[in-house]
Amino acid sequence: KHAPALKENNYKQISIRGIPLLENVEEVKKVFNRHLHFTIVKDRDVATDHDYYESIAYTVRDHLVSRWIRTNQYHFETDQKRVYYLSLEYHMGRALSNCMINLGIENSVDEALYEMGLNIEELEELESEAALGNGGLGRLAACYLDSMATLGLSAYGYGLRYDYGIFAQKIEDGYQKEYPENWLRYACPWEISRPEFLVPVQYYGKVIDDKDGKKKWVEYITVHAMPYDSPIPGYNNNVVNTLRLWSAKASEKFNFALFNSGDYIRAVAEQSSSEDITRVLYPNDDFDEGKILRLKQEYFLVSASVQDIIARYKRSKINLKADQQVDFTNFPDKAAIQLNDTHPALSVVELMRLLIDVENLGWDQAFDITKRTIAFTNHTLLPEALEKWPIDMFQKLLPRHFQLITDINAHHLDIVQKKWPEDKERMKRMTIIDDEAKKVNMGYLSVVGSHAVNGVAQMHSDLLKSTIMKDFYELNPEKFQNKTNGITPRRWLLICNPDLADLITTKIGEGWITDLAQLKQLRDYVDDEQFIRDIQRVKFENKERLSKFLKKNFNVNINPNSMFDVQVKRLHEYKRQLLNCLRVITVYNRIKANPDKDVIQRTIIFGGKAAPGYKTAKLIIKLICNVARTVSEDPVIGDRLRVVFLENYGVSLAEKIIPAVDLSEQISLAGLEASGTSNMKMMLNGGLTIGTMDGANVEICEEVGKDNIFTFGLTYKEVDELREKGYNAKDYYEHNAELKQAIEQIRDGVFSPEDPNLFSDIVKSLLESDEKFMLLADYEEYMKAHERVEQLYKDGTEWTKKCILNIAAAGKFSSDRAIREYAKDIWNVTPTDKKLPSPDAGRP
């Protein structure tokens, strides 16, 4: 290992971000050495690179600590309303560079490491990422934490500390294989365990009537929730909020009977089974598996968090002063709980239970407080993803909660009946507990128990009101809102694409970092020839960097001079990676049929994990890999077409891919992608979108103008009409020779000569049962849209102008904007751009 070339280092010094002071550099070195010695307990002769990573992580963490403590003191003193974000998933990615940037110390750290002969970029790669999420929903939670801290909100994330996050994906012979990813193998330097705040969580047992007529939950078993806190630094504002993740710990009393019977060894050994609750993240996206362990996880998060929230309320300033029974009347003015989908929906019932059974409030008051506290975000309309728990399972695991849901449902149906006295069908549709299907509907519970319900893009929110939540919208129209998703411009531009960030800053200053709408000033430079060349240079260098990375880590060769045409996201039929694959096959056929035609060089990049049990999705991965193989082995193709499937797509890989994207593939069937967020990331980094009118694509189109995006395909209305009249795949198949050819090639084993029938299920579903995703209906327009892409790409300047217009129009998609809207319309809290006093400025 050697120090980076001086030239590159000099270049970094000429940066808009924080000028390093020599004192800081000396200080960093001192603290680094102290940690290597006292924390890691190594000397430089035996220290590994990982030890150096840990030492620098602890050094950076030291800079956070006093701000973190300060933030807590400040929030106690001001006693402003707290926002609690509850999510089963947080896809955080790596923390080191994020912390350095948000604290403004990355140049000092860079320089200090350089002087010690270490390379920050190499050390950063050694951090294992906290991948405690599946896809968009978990990453959204992470972006929102960043924005809440940056906007100075007193906000807490609550989640689960899974021992195993999302699996590591390997592609072996074109097949996805899943491997466990032990992200905690090395201790995580960012988390602090808080055994003193252990919280008991109860399961099973039964409910009895107490002497005083109260309900009492008895004979339950207890599992303890151990909190682990991680810092969430705001950008340059001295705020450090907290993400609290719960880990299951057996209670000592767990197997009392066994302990007493003298079977000590077995009693201790069996403790581990209750600790299984937080062992592993369920790897499904947009699919509800209905397993009891998942229900245990959901309740574990909810119970521990709601108890913690109530405990904090009781310890808060207003209540400490009042020398009397805690008054819960003000609870909704002091706490807002946001449910990230229905997964934490039990919060409604747990809050009711604690208020009624423990705090002795009356039912009506408890329900009023609950509704005013809780709000609910829906992330999908796909029926297979909507959570419904079997009544039996639910009642056995959570007997008291089942009673409370029964009460809530009775109260709710009473209101429905008063409003529509004759409408029996509606009552049946709207019941939270479906006695026929024997299921508890968690979406309905979430709506009934909340004061606000939102979708994640305008189109999605509209569809919520007109489809799955129609009856509920008619009952309470005032509850329904839209909050279009956003992404944090810190991680998704400033950190992952520093050269573009610098270039933007030289033109419009650095205000965009916390006010992304300022990017629209870039429109003034759309004809500036130098700026256009600079944008092109940065994009090219990013593509080169990605190419080198892929060569080094995956032995994949791609050509940075080709167009990078990218679809990276979870693998799901509705996202239609298969449509992209049909297109690739057609492009391949065209080159073969017309080898002398002048075409642009394309690298088509796929990436994404399939749920381990999702057979079709896994077979689509295999097909893509086989097509990639056929293309690369064909001597006629040369460097005109290259197809790659990148292994193990996640936050860290995304940070490398997104800055290098030319073309962003967003091709779901209209009505099925609630929002999408990779579309926003690529736009912000100067990628042009080819997409359907679905989710947030609609708003991207509005913002950038339809001349600067390649839209195609059925609209939602057309999909609806087509479904009404009957979708017939053969119509398209018989009328489009290229489409027919591509499907026949798959059918005939052109891409799987060793097993010609390998993809027969895919062919069958395309031709016989695809009314759900209608791939063939959009194929022709998709091909035409790609021809428009090709035309434009031939004119480098015109292409780049549109890139600039896309960057300039990406302001709306900042998670800061989204969080401002949540703050105003749902939580009733006020963001601030004031900095907290720095740690050396005395206690607030």
Question: Annotated catalytic sites, by residue?
Answer: 379, 569-570, 575, 677, 681
Q: Establish if 488 lies at the interface with ligand F58 (CB under 6 A).
A: no
Binding span for ligand F58 by CB under 6 A among 63-71, 149-157, 319-327, 673-681 = 673-681
Name the 3-class secondary structure at 188: coil
Distance of CA 281 to the CA centre of its chain: 14
Nearest distance in Å: CB 401, ligand F58: 21
* CA-based torsion, 761, 766, 769, 770: positive or negative: positive
According to DSSP, residue 39 is labeled: I
Site stretch for ligand F58 (CB under 6 A), options 15-23, 675-683, 754-762, 778-786 = 675-683
Judged by beta carbon, residue 55 or residue 134, the one nearer ligand F58 is 134
Q: Would you count residue 485 as binding ligand F58 (CB under 6 A)?
A: yes
Considering only residues 116, 198, 268, 385, which one is a binding residue for ligand F58 as defined by CB under 6 A? 385
Give the DSSP letter of residue 555. Answer: -
- Residue 192: CB minimum distance to ligand F58, A: 27
Amino acid at position 755, single letter: D
- The verdict on 346 binding ligand F58 (CB under 6 A) reads no
Q: Which stretch binds ligand F58 (CB under 6 A): 49-57, 102-110, 671-679, 703-711?
A: 671-679
Phi–psi pair at 418, nearest 5 degrees: -65, -40
The residue range among 60-68, 69-77, 95-103, 669-677 that interacts with ligand F58, by the rule CB under 6 A, is 669-677
Residue span binding ligand F58 (CB under 6 A) among the ranges 132-140, 177-185, 511-519, 653-661: 132-140
Among 409, 446, 603, 675, binds ligand F58 (CB under 6 A): 675
Comparing CB distances to ligand F58, the nearer of 238 and 342 is 342
- Window of 78-86, 131-139, 245-253, 584-592 that interacts with ligand F58 by CB under 6 A: 131-139
Min dist CB 260 to ligand F58, Å, is 40
**CA Rg, the chain, in Å?**
28
Residue 333 Cβ vs ligand F58, minimum distance, rounded to whole Å = 28
Contact at 8 Å (CB) between 779 and 519? no
Which ranges of 651-691 would DSSP assign to H, the alpha helix? 651-657, 678-684
CA distance 533 to 359: 66
Choice between 408 and 651, CB closer to ligand F58: 651
Q: Which of 52, 58, 64, 135 binds ligand F58 (CB under 6 A)?
A: 135
Rounded to the nearest 10 degrees, how much is the dihedral formed by the CA atoms of 499, 64, 138, 450? -130
Alpha carbon distance 33, 113 (integer Å): 11
Nearer to ligand F58 (CB atom), residue 334 or residue 572: 572
Size of the site for ligand F58 (CB under 6 A): 19
Residues near 721 by beta carbon (within 8 Å), at least 6 away in sequence? none
Tokens, residue 261? 């019977």
Q: How far is the CB of 517 from ligand F58 (least distance, A)?
A: 21
* Residue of 97, 380, 446, 630 interacting with ligand F58 (CB under 6 A): 380
Return the axis-axis angle of helices 22-34 and 49-78, rounded to nearest 10°: 110
Shortest Cβ distance from residue 12 to ligand F58 (Å)? 34
Task: Tell me: does residue 286 bind ligand F58 (CB under 6 A).
Answer: yes
- Confirm or reject binding of residue 285 to ligand F58 (CB under 6 A): yes
What whole-number distance in Å separates Cα of residue 786 and Cα of residue 634? 23
Give the separation between CA 481 and CA 464, rounded to whole angstroms: 10
Site for ligand F58 in 584-613 (CB under 6 A): none
Roughly how many angstroms between the first and final C-alpha of the chain, as a whole number?
45
- Binding piece for ligand F58, criterion CB under 6 A, among 251-259, 540-548, 672-680, 823-831: 672-680
**Residues in the chain, overall count:** 844
Give the residue with the Cβ less far from ligand F58, 381 or 627: 381
User: Among residues 546 and 719, whose Cβ is nearest to ligand F58?
Assistant: 719
Read off the amino acid at residue 404: L
Asked if residues 336 and 827 have their Cβ atoms less than 8 Å apart, the reply is yes
> In the structure encoding, which two tokens stand for residue 33, read together?
């050495």
For ligand F58, the nearest residue by Cβ is 136
**832 token code pair:** 């601030």
Q: Are 654 and 91 in contact (CB under 8 A)?
A: no
Pairing mode of beta strands 206-209, 82-86: unpaired
Near ligand F58 by CB under 6 A: residue from 99, 137, 232, 447? 137
Per CB under 6 A, the segment of 129-137, 174-182, 322-330, 554-562 that binds ligand F58 is 129-137
- Phi, psi dihedrals of residue 183, rounded to the nearest 5°: -70, -10
Identify which of residues 152 and 676 has a Cβ nearer to ligand F58 in the complex.
676
State the DSSP code for 750: T
> Considering only residues 439-458, where is the footprint of ligand F58 by CB under 6 A?
456
Cβ atoms of 674 and 650 within 8 Å: the answer is no
**Interface positions, 76-95, toward ligand F58 (CB under 6 A):** none
Check residue 814 for interaction with ligand F58 (CB under 6 A).
no
Please give the DSSP secondary-structure letter assigned to residue 128: P
Chosen residue from 140, 188, 243, 643 binding ligand F58 by CB under 6 A? 140
In whole angstroms, give the CA distance from residue 496 to residue 98: 10
**Bridge partners for 666 per DSSP:** 691
Among positions 189, 608, 676, 686, the unique one binding ligand F58 when judged by CB under 6 A? 676
**Closer residue to ligand F58 in complex, CB, 127/285:** 285
3-state secondary structure of 91: strand
- The least CB distance from residue 52 to ligand F58, in Å, is 35
Rounded CA-CA distance 761/763 in Å is 5
Candidate segments 312-320, 486-494, 629-637, 667-675, binder of ligand F58 by CB under 6 A? 667-675
Site string for ligand F58, 232-271 (x = CB under 6 A): ----------------------------------------
Place of tokens 């736009």: 683
User: In the complex with ligand F58, which residue's Cβ is closer, 43 or 384?
Assistant: 384
Nearer to ligand F58, 61 or 609 (CB): 609
Of 242, 454, 567, 677, the one binding ligand F58 (CB under 6 A) is 677
Q: How far is the CB of 288 from ligand F58 (least distance, A)?
A: 6
CA distance 88 to 289: 15
Q: Is 283 in the site for ligand F58 (CB under 6 A)?
A: no
- Verify binding: residue 699, ligand F58, rule CB under 6 A: no
Pick between residue 108 and residue 697 the one whose CB is nearest to ligand F58.
697
Report the residue from 17, 91, 334, 379 that binds ligand F58 according to the rule CB under 6 A: 379
Question: Which of residues 234 and 486 has its CB atom nearest to ligand F58 in the complex?
Answer: 486
Whether the Cβ atoms of residue 50 and residue 126 lie closer than 8 Å to each other? yes
Question: In the bound complex, what is the minimum distance in angstroms from residue 284's beta carbon to ligand F58?
Answer: 5
Q: Is 71 in the site for ligand F58 (CB under 6 A)?
A: no
The residues, ordered by sequence, that sit 6+ positions from 621 with a Cβ below 8 Å of its Cβ are 171, 174, 175, 176, 571, 610, 645
Compare residues 111 and 341 and give the one whose CB is closer to ligand F58. Answer: 341
Give the CA angle between residues 614, 376, 697 to the nearest 5°: 60
Taking the C-alpha atoms of residue 717 and residue 547, their distance in angstroms, rounded to an integer, is 41
284 binds ligand F58 (CB under 6 A): yes
* HSE value, Cβ hemisphere, 13 Å, CA-based, for 151: 25
Residue 520: which residues within 8 A CB-CB, separation 6 or more? 808, 809, 811
Please report which helix (H) or strand (E) contains residue 206, including its range: strand 206-209
673 binds ligand F58 (CB under 6 A): yes
What is the contact surface with ligand F58 in residues (CB under 6 A)? 134-137, 140, 284-286, 379-380, 385, 456, 485, 673-677, 695
